[in-house]
Structure 1
Amino acid sequence: MPDTLSVPRVRAFLTRLEAENDRAWFKAHQGEYEADLKAPAEALLDRLRAPLREMTGLEATPKLFRPQRDLRFSKNKRPYHLHLHLMWSLAAGGASEPACFLGIDLKGVTVGLGCMAMNREQLERWRSLLLTDTARMAALIERAEAGGFTFREGELKRTPGPCPPDHPLARFARMKSCVATKEMAESGPLEPRLMEAFRQGLPVLEMLHPVL
């Protein structure tokens, strides 16, 4: 059983799953999934808890997302996801926590940091911060983007008050979450490159710290 998560092995399994995405095939190959994907992913999740705590100052709680899809309200009835998703939630003490993410799918490897959803009070603090601390927030955004990260577009079509539509950070005021991602090369040792990517994304967590 490999103890290192291998991107080629993950993608090889997902490629075969794409062609045979049904419960019978998955059950027949579940041992392979557990040996090549689940066990190495859980080992990586556990190994990075201490380095992430040291890097962020926050306790990291690992999670491996289930391969099964929720089919209840989906027209697509293929039962399994064609990706492997890992997450480290960072205990910041608020109602919504920031997190670090890793995703491997048939297109590549994606690293992310941020908060998937801010509640009403957090959104108010977020939008106020954009107005009152614009220069610092803009500098953090620039650092994250210089590290190769791209921020997801805001969920709102219109800029909410009190932020004016022509404010330099108006696109961030339209967010109800704040997540930045970057694509990572598939070759080379995964673990050190992943930690380096998280370090490059630290400005995203710095932006969220006063909010969460």
Structure 2
Amino acid sequence: MDIVIEKNVFEYLKKLEKNNNRDWFNDHKKEFKLIEANVKHVYSQLFELLKTHDDVDTFKIFRIYRDVRFSKNKLPYKTHFGGSFNRVKPYLRGGYYVHIQPNNESFIATGFWDPNKEDLLRIRKEFEMDDQDIRDIINDKTFKNIWGELTGDELITAPKGFDRDHKAIDLIKKKQYIFTKKYTDKEVLDPNFIHEVNNAFRAIRPYFDYMSDVLTTDLNGVSII
């Protein structure tokens, strides 16, 4: 039987947003534990679904407690749940993320959030040499209907060593390579939500297969692992 996100998850997070302090949180700790358990079960079920079509080895649900040491925002608690799912490294690259937040702020994301400098250079060099394969993937009609446009932080101009007038400069100057998909509260509470998310993640595979091949080979296509 499928496990669904329960309505009281959003209700609790909305109350936490209005009462983001330790006294209120401690007074409602029992309620938090109940909704946390519900969310963990949903993420666990998604993990099992992902394993039917991808090699994922771990998943992590992030703690509700905020790290305020280096932040101007000193509110102690997050008002959302977030969890990540990891593909088997080093052969497979990329990852999945699910973000549950009320007021129609939920979303899923996938791709490359923070590639190290070696991986980022390798990706850029690939696009410099040939950008047709990646464009064929991300511009595919079915793919685009699900995931929309490739997003991520980018440089203002070309990175060092690259031509700012290169035809693939829109890809080369990116620092992240991410796809996101938003959901309304109603969609998250729908009994089919977890399967819809799984199907969206399944659809990202052509992108992951391509990027994994790039990041596990040199520019001559020879394996480096």
Is 2:180 the partner of 1:181? yes
* Aligned position for 2:209: 206
CA RMSD of aligned residues (A): 2.3
User: In the TM superposition, what whole-angstrom CA distance separates every residue of 1:115-158 from its partner, at most 9, and x where no partner exists?
Assistant: 22111221121012212331111011213433233332333222
Aligned letter for 1:35? Answer: L
Aligned letter for 1:202? Answer: R
Q: CA deviation at 1:77?
A: 1.2
Q: CA deviation at 1:12?
A: 1.3
Is 2:188 the partner of 1:192? no
Is 2:113 the partner of 1:113? no
* Aligned position for 2:221: none
Distance 2:71 2:201 in 1: 33
Residue correspondences, number: 207
Q: CA deviation at 1:181?
A: 0.4
Q: CA deviation at 1:160?
A: 1.7
Is 2:90 the partner of 1:90? no
Gaps of 5+ in 1: none
* Aligned position for 1:103: 99
Larger radius of gyration: 2
Q: Secondary structure at the match of 2:26?
A: helix
Q: Secondary structure at the match of 2:170?
A: helix
Give runs of aligned pairs for residues 7-18 of structure 1, distance below 5 A. 8-18=7-17
Aligned letter for 2:59? Answer: P
User: In the TM superposition, what whole-angstrom CA distance separates every residue of 1:10-62 from its partner, at most 9, and x where no partner exists?
Assistant: 221111011100011111112212212x2122222322333323322x22311
Distance 2:181 2:75 in 1: 28
Query: Percent same amino acid at aligned positions?
Result: 25
* Aligned position for 1:33: 32
Report if aligned partners of 2:85, 2:95 keep a CA contact under 8 Å in 1.
yes
TM-score (norm 2): 0.81
Gaps of 5+ in 2: 217-225
